[in-house]
Structure formats: structure tokens, C-alpha cells
Amino acid sequence: MWQELLLQMQQGDIKALARSISLIENEKPGYENLLQSLPPASAKIIGITGPPGAGKSTLTDSLIALLVNEGKKVAVLCVDPSSPFNLGAVLGDRIRMSDWYTHPNVFIRSLATRGSMGGLHPKIIEITDLLKAFGFDHILVETVGVGQSEIEIAGLADVTVVVVVPEAGDEIQTMKAGLMEIADVFVVNKADRPDADILVKNLRLMMAPTFNKHYQEVPVIKTIASQKKGIKELLDIILHQLQKAHLNEKTFWLLAERAYFLIGQKRMKGIDKAALKKEIEAIYQKGNFNLYKFIAEK
């Protein structure tokens, strides 16, 4: 079955791509063979993250429009928080991107986090590799920006765009260092609102070498995504950053990060939390339970 899917994907069959994603998500027989048979691909991943309400979906929608107008094939993964009941994506496919559902050069898929600790989908690496093999020019991954997902996106994306809004001005002062370090581009969206210029100035100050020992030149750009303002400039900066990212040390750190994550997943396979709970419960009842001894004996 997987051989047939791979062949259909190589012939540009979008339905085969959707079926292949489901095969991987659900770990159906043959999914590992499919992954091991994927040809090398050079498409880059653009991560878009930031707090809820920052306008990431509108920004993503505007970027899709520009890329499609340039004749590019674009894949978009929207990572949504899981429903606690059925592990589906709560927000579903984003309403704002509905114009693109039937476009032949655009593929959009919503992924639930499925309780993943980091905030991204547990099979996000494999799914992005599938999209690369399908022959998309660009892959956009938009996260809902809660919990660890902002930091985790840096282990996946070749360029990470962090979107904030002027109201976040006070929060910037206390923004966790991790978020400052992962940004390759900062976007102040909804820049027609008061305090946008002050936020831009503060961000630039925080990215300056005196304040930030991890400094590399991180552009800060203003956009009004709802009016398509600043989007062309943003895309130019993203493409420039992608060129800079071409086969430098970050490339191999990204690959090492992905390998580390996948090896961890593989080694944890077969460990069932519910079964662990029962086992711990049984030993605990006997008294003298020691967590570390229990782990050492596993």
C-alpha cells in the first residue's frame, strides 16, 4: 500500500498526500517504510508563532497570496490545541484561509497537538518531510502560540517568524529569553494601533548586542495583515533569512534536534502511561515505593 501511495505522491496526487499523512498520524502498517523511501528534498520550513490574537492566520493568508502569485506551490500546517475529548483540532481548518482550499497550488491541513508536551503535533517532523517530498516550494507551519510550541517550532523551522501586537509592549519587558532567542524575524502586526513604534524600538533595543549575547541581526518589521500592508517586505526578509540559513551550522543543529526527538519517540514506543500507573499503584500499596528505583528497573 505504501509503495502505491509513494508512487501516486510522486505523480502529484494530492489525495495520496492526504492519505499518507493519515497513515503516518495513525502509525498504520507501512508508514515507516514510506518515510524511509522519501527522496531528498530542499523545500524550507517557515515557522510562524506568537500569542493568540496576534493575527498569525491573517498574516499567513497574506503570505500564501504573495507566494501563489509568484507561481509557488505552498503547503500550510496549522497546529491547533487538541480537544480533550477526541484529540481532533479544535479550531479546524482556519476560516480565514478558506479561499485557498480548492486552489491547485495550495495544501492546508490542521493538526491537533494530541496532548504533545511541547505543543506541536507529535508527528510534525514526519509530516513536513512528506510535504517536502511532494515538491512544495514552501512549507508554512503556524502554531497557536501557547505553552512550549514557540520554542519547539525553532527545532523544526529553517526560519522562525515571531508575531506580536502593540498591546504586548509591557509583556516584551518580561518576555522569556527563549522566545527572544528563537526569532529570526520579529513582526509587529496591527501596526496601525497606538504604541506600535514604541514596541518596535523596544524590540530592536532588546536584540542589540549590548543586551542580547545571542545576538544575530534579527529584523523587526511592522505589518497590518488585514490591509496587506508590509507583507511584501516581510516575505522579502523571510526569503533573505532562508538564503542565509542555507547549509550553515543551524542546518545540522536542526537535523540533530529532529533526530534526537525521533530517537526519543522510538525508544518510548510501547510504554503505556495507563499501564505504568497500574504498576506504580500495585507497588505503592506494598509500601516503600521509590520512583527512581522503579525507573532503574524498567
C-alpha–C-alpha distance, residues 124 and 153, integer Å: 10
Q: Are 155 and 260 in contact (CB under 8 A)?
A: no
Average pLDDT of the residues of the chain: 81
Q: Where are the domains of the chain?
A: 1-36, 38-246
> 9-19, pLDDT tens digit by residue?
989 999 999 99
Whose cell is 510522486? That residue is: 10
pTM: 0.81
DSSP 115: T
Higher pLDDT, 96 or 266: 266
Scan for cell 516575505, then name that residue: 235
Output the CA–CA distances (angstroms, integers) from residue 209 to 114, 174, 205, 230, 282, in the order listed: 39, 18, 9, 26, 56
Contact 108, 97 (CB under 8 A): yes
The residue with greater pLDDT, 91 or 156, is: 156
All three cell numbers of 22: 493519515
CA atoms of 151 and 233, how far apart (whole Å) = 25
Mean pLDDT of 264-289: 89
Residue 41, pLDDT > 70, answer: yes
Confidence of residue 69 (pLDDT cuts 50, 70, 90): very high
**Residues 141, 69: Cα–Cα separation, whole Å:** 20
Mutual angle of helices 14-25 and 2-10, in 10-degree steps: 140
Instruction: Tell me the per-residue pLDDT of 175-210, one tens digit each, with 9 for 90 and over.
Output: 555 566 778 899 999 999 988 998 888 888 877 654
**Other CB atoms within 10 Å distance of the CB of residue 26:** 9
Instruction: Domain 38-246: give its CATH code.
Output: 3.40.50.300
Phi, psi of 117 (to 5 degrees): -60, -40
- On whether the CB atoms of residues 237 and 245 are closer than 8 A, the answer is no
Digit-coded pLDDT (tens) for 72-92: 999 999 886 544 333 444 444
Instruction: Residue 2: name the closest of 50, 40, 37 by CA.
Output: 37
- Looking at residue 284, its amino acid is Y
The three three-digit cell numbers of residue 188, written as one number: 509587529
